[in-house]
Structure 1
Amino acid sequence: MINTLNIGSKISTLRKKKRWSQGDLAKQSGVFREMIGNYERNANTPSIEVLINLAKVFNVSVDYIIGEGELAALDKELLKRIEDIEKLDEATKQHLFFLIDNIIQNYKTKKAFNK
């Protein structure tokens, strides 16, 4: 069942984003290079232990690798920032949201005019 989640594609994408070869990822994760290839082709499904290790190596959540869960599309850096924002007082949060909203609106406007 896990193979239908296309874990292999996510592992491949994360590996390429770091500009690592399969051998590089094998060294980082302690998994044989051949197994990395099998995972990426969805010929084998990583064990829970391997998924946890890969998540640590890529600095993402296991949910992110398997593509499940409400926050699956968010990496750990973004999640950490969200957690930090949650700890702010309400006035500071509102100020931050105002700034973020303006930056996003500016980005969307630039993107719209560059089409």
Structure 2
Amino acid sequence: MSKIGNKITQLRKEKGWSQSELAKQIKASREAIGKYERDEAIPSVETAKNIADVFDVSLDYLVGDVLKPSFDKRMVKRLQDMELLSERDKDHLFALLDAFLRDAKTKKAYAP
């Protein structure tokens, strides 16, 4: 299980940000970021959401047991938009998606 502090540290380093830069982005103190990263303190829900927003990951990824942010905000937005489609349009979209995924898996299986 990855603690929230580890995820914050990892995401911050991937962006090349210092603790001070992250603090500035979410309007918090550098000391607070340090405590979050060392798991000495847990951010409030609002602060955790702000952290997730600046890293473009879901809050679920940040605080959950998910190993990677497989559903980033763009994916979640698309899934939400798909709910607005008619059943017929969803069927067409799923058929297209299924064909694309099948082809991608086949290519990967036979790649050198």
Alignment TM-score > 0.5, same fold? yes
SS at match of 1:43: coil
SS at match of 1:98: helix
Q: Identity percentage over the alignment?
A: 48
Q: Which amino acid in structure 2 is aligned with residue 98 of structure 1?
A: A
The structure 1 residue matched to 2:82, chosen from 80, 85, 89, is: 85
Q: Where do residues 1-115 of structure 1 align in structure 2 (5 Å cutoff)? A: 6-67=3-64, 74-114=71-111
Q: Which amino acid in structure 2 is aligned with residue 42 of structure 1?
A: D
Q: Which amino acid in structure 2 is aligned with residue 14 of structure 1?
A: L
Distance in 1 between residues matched to 2:106 and 2:16, nearest whole Å: 32
SS at match of 1:64: helix
TM-score by length of 1: 0.75
Give the Å deviation of 1:29: 0.8
Give the Å deviation of 1:73: 5.2
Give the Å deviation of 1:76: 2.0
Give the Å deviation of 1:21: 2.6
Distance in 1 between residues matched to 2:14 and 2:89, nearest whole Å: 34
Distance in 1 between residues matched to 2:109 and 2:100, nearest whole Å: 14
How many residues are matched? 110
Give the Å deviation of 1:104: 1.3
Give the Å deviation of 1:5: 6.0
For each residue in 1:3-62, what CA deviation from the matched residue of structure 2 results, as whole angstroms up to 9, or x when unmatched? Answer: x76111221233234332322211101122232222122122212332132133233333
Give the Å deviation of 1:88: 0.8
Give the Å deviation of 1:106: 1.8
Distance in 2 between residues matched to 1:35 and 1:25, nearest whole Å: 10
Give the Å deviation of 1:97: 0.9
Which is further off, 97-106 or 11-20?
11-20
